Amino acid sequence: MLQWKDVIQYASNGNPEPDRKVEKTEQEWRDQLTTEQFRITRQKGTEMAFSSEMCSLFEPALYSCVCCDTLLFNAEQKFESGSGWPSFTQPIKQNAIAYHQDNSHGMIRIETTCNTCGAHLGHVFPDGPKPSGLRYCMNAVALKKVTDQSLESERETQNIQTATFGGGCFWCTEAIFDRLEGVTQVRSGYAGGKVKNPAYREVCSGNTGHAEVVQVDYDPNIINYSDLIRIHLTTHDPTTLNQQGADRGTQYRSIILVNNDQEREIAEQIIKEVQGEAYEDLIVTEVKPFTSFYEAEPEHQNFYNRQPQYGYCQAVIDPKLAKFKMLYAEKIKQ
């Protein structure tokens, strides 16, 4: 979960890498957008307060950038701020938004832009509701409501599916899945518990019910769900209950969160196969329905790739990666 300190860090030291970049000429943007959309998003304009009905819309929905269609916000994080502009507590992904110090109009503020195309969205303030304390104050003109049908159609066109696994510290699990051919993105976070929007310290207490997990976006035409399950079960120890090496606690449990009955059947079948092939001790991996995923703080994302010299990375992750590369050399990204 992003907090004000994370926003300041991004604005001061550089923004997260976006999933993609969209660049167009000024004339191309003018041809694509309405006059008002161009004024707001490309010329850093501001719409009049209370000028959009979006302020009072709170039904389930996703909101994308009006310029490039990048998903930015989920209505689950939307709230009534009374400011006259649509307000959210979190972006849909931590790398969806870019942050810039804005000294215009005699004020010091943090401007928010689409991290994909640079569209001006609005500003973010540290006066939102807990637990994040953030208020993303957005121009409604800069946002486009995305229907479930159009979102599903887009995912089908891209043929991307998502799997969720936990096997100890998510720094380890992320480093492994990030190297697989066919995996397009890996996000570290928390799932399997009941507390909404937990922070890392809360999860470490063992009181949230959440496990440290990764969400893996993958192309099933390149790597299938069965392969992901098998790789997961053979790159951590699924026979130790609530423990991976020196990491102890329910947050480190071995877990597979399935999206449907078909995935459950596949997971249970692969567990049986791996049990007979690789382990004498009983596999205790939990298999349960997926409900919610809460993305971990920015400092936990892409951890191994950013800090390979960190002591834990050298002592724990390096040996796991060596085993992974030995077992699955043909499935590793070139």
Catalytic positions, please?
137, 169
β-strand pairing of 120-125 with 183-191? unpaired
Closest CA to 128 of 91, 84, 79, 85: 79
Please calculate the CA angle 187-192-193 and round it to the nearest 5 degrees.
115
Q: How far apart are CA 290 and CA 308, in angstroms?
A: 31
69: closest CA among 39, 92, 100, 46? 92
CA angle 79, 81, 86 (to 5 degrees): 65
Q: Percent helix, strand and coil across the chain, each rounded to 5?
A: 35, 25, 40
134: tokens are 């953030």
| Bond preceding residue 60 cis, omega within 30 of 0 | no
Handedness of CA 75, 138, 97, 154 (dihedral sign): positive
Q: Is 317 exposed, middle or buried (0-12, 13-18, 19+ CB in 10 A)?
A: buried
Which tokens is 203 given? 């999860």
DSSP letter, residue 334? -
Sheet containing strand 120-125, edge to edge, reads 78-79, 87-88, 135-138, 120-125, 109-114, 97-102
